[in-house]
């Protein structure tokens, strides 16, 4: 008798509690594209990302060039889920100008 109401509550509540998909990589990439662009100064790119809550430092990701910088921020998207948003900034050879940026998959976790 109570099976249907409980099922509906579970189907409606569980995605809200554990879902980080609302802020996927393509949405973040769009947001970042509005802030930074290749050929701007690397320091200016980091400052633009820091103004919206990112913290920047050296990249420690496997496969990234040693000169790459990573900016990341935590995003709480629901009651108990948190996502880590990252942007990898790769400078051109001299190191002072942004050559490209990459928004990797956004890992999420919950308690």
Residues 29-59 have pLDDT tens digits of 999 999 999 999 999 999 999 999 999 999 8
Q: Considering its fold, how many domains does the chain have in total?
A: 1
Mean pLDDT of the chain: 79
Angle (nearest 5°) at CA 86 between 61 and 19: 115
How far is residue 67 from each of residues 10, 50, 74, 108, measured CA to CA in Å?
A: 47, 19, 23, 26
Q: How confident is the model at residue 6 (pLDDT cuts 50, 70, 90)?
A: very low
Mean pLDDT of 66-70: 89
Residue numbers of the domain that contains 24:
3-110
What gap in Å lies between CA 87 and CA 104, rounded to an integer? 7
* 19, 77 contact by CB (below 8 A): yes
Sole residue written with tokens 């496997």: 62
pTM equals 0.74
């Amino acid at each position: 008798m109570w099976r249907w109401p409980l099922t509906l509550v579970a189907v409606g509540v569980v995605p809200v509690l554990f879902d980080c998909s609302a802020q996927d990589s393509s949405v973040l990439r769009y947001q970042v594209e509005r802030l930074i662009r290749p050929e701007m100064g690397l320091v200016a790119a980091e400052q633009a990302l820091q103004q919206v809550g990112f913290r920047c430092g050296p990249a420690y990701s496997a496969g990234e060039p040693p000169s790459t910088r990573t900016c990341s921020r935590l995003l709480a998207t629901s009651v108990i889920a948190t996502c880590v948003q990252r942007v990898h900034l790769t400078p051109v050879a001299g190191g002072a100008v942004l050559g490209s940026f990459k928004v990797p998959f956004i890992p999420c976790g919950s308690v």
